[in-house]
Amino acid sequence: MEQPRDRRLIYLGAFVLVAAAAVAAVLIGRSGGDGDGGKDGFSVDGCKTVSKPAPKQVKLDAPKQTVRRGEKLTAEVDTSCGSFEIALDTARAPKTTNSFVYLADRGFYDDVLFHRIANAPSFGVIQGGDPLGSGLGGPGYSVDEKPPPNLAYTKGVVAMAKSGVDPPGRSGSQFFIVTSADLGLPPDYALVGRVSGGEDTLARISKFGSPDEQGKPKAPVVIDKVTIQKG
């Protein structure tokens, strides 16, 4: 299913979503050097040439709430293009950030693609978090937490993707980072936090993107590890 510009929805699985699979949509699709994976990947200064990782079947139980509201937590995201940091918004999104921490601590995001890198005019996102690499993967559970009603998806905001049939604030494992000034989306996507460092890494990742909203990457960009720092 094409992602319509007038709605600008952040679907899970925008590359492979078809009518029969609309409910299961989750955006992820990793490319190799020729757009289909492999070792001869497109290279940008500061980025490692990497291969497409093997898909991982994951089914986890939903986490218990261990993150405290207002607790200061930072996610350090190490990638094949360097690292960046996300200040987790535990005050406004304690359930969503709790799930993100739970997945990170279990290595869920290790060796997982940024499957969508969109550089469309006024619609820039970097999205990842599907262990299958097919656009249909997730953690085996979902979390529901309505985002703040005044939330705007402006540059640096990190939020969770969802399918078009999911209610506002539902999330699994797919997350996106806003790289354009303002996506103009309604407050439907669960809040994770905001980029607090490593903007140069995000700029390098963005160079692998395509100038449309589907955002099929020119080559694989991989999350090596997500580490949660307290305080």
**Domain range list for the chain:** 19-29+71-230
Q: 159 falls in which pLDDT band (50, 70, 90)?
A: very high
pLDDT of residue 167 exceeding 60 = yes
The rounded mean pLDDT for the chain is 85
Q: 6 falls in which pLDDT band (50, 70, 90)?
A: very low
pLDDT of residue 23 exceeding 60 = no
> How many whole angstroms separate alpha carbon 138 and alpha carbon 117?
19
Query: How confident is the model over 41-47, as a mean pLDDT?
Result: 74
pLDDT of residue 206 exceeding 90 = yes
Query: How confident is the model over 67-71, as a mean pLDDT?
Result: 98
E strands present in the chain: 73-79, 82-88, 112-120, 123-128, 143-144, 157-160, 170-171, 175-178, 191-197, 222-230
What residues form DSSP beta bridges with 210?
118
Closest-CA residue to 11 (of 123, 150, 152, 103): 123
Q: How far is CA 41 from CA 32, 48, 79, 211, in A?
A: 5, 9, 15, 19
Closest-CA residue to 2 (of 118, 140, 167): 118
Query: How confident is the model over 87-97, as a mean pLDDT?
Result: 98
Please report the pLDDT score of residue 15 as a whole number: 36
- Using DSSP, state whether 200 is helix, strand or coil: helix
Six token digits for residue 189: 């996507």
Domain 19-29+71-230: homologous superfamily in CATH: Cyclophilin-like (2.40.100.10)
pLDDT of residue 75 exceeding 50 = yes
Q: 93 falls in which pLDDT band (50, 70, 90)?
A: very high
Q: 121 falls in which pLDDT band (50, 70, 90)?
A: confident
Share of the chain above pLDDT 70, in %: 81
Please report the pLDDT score of residue 26 as a whole number: 32
For residue 26, the tally of other CB atoms under 10 A from its CB is: 27
**Residue of higher predicted confidence among 41 and 27:** 41
According to the 3-state scheme, what is the secondary structure of 102-122? HHHHCCCCCCEEEEEEEEECC
CB 96 within 8 A of CB 143: yes
What residues form DSSP beta bridges with 229?
74
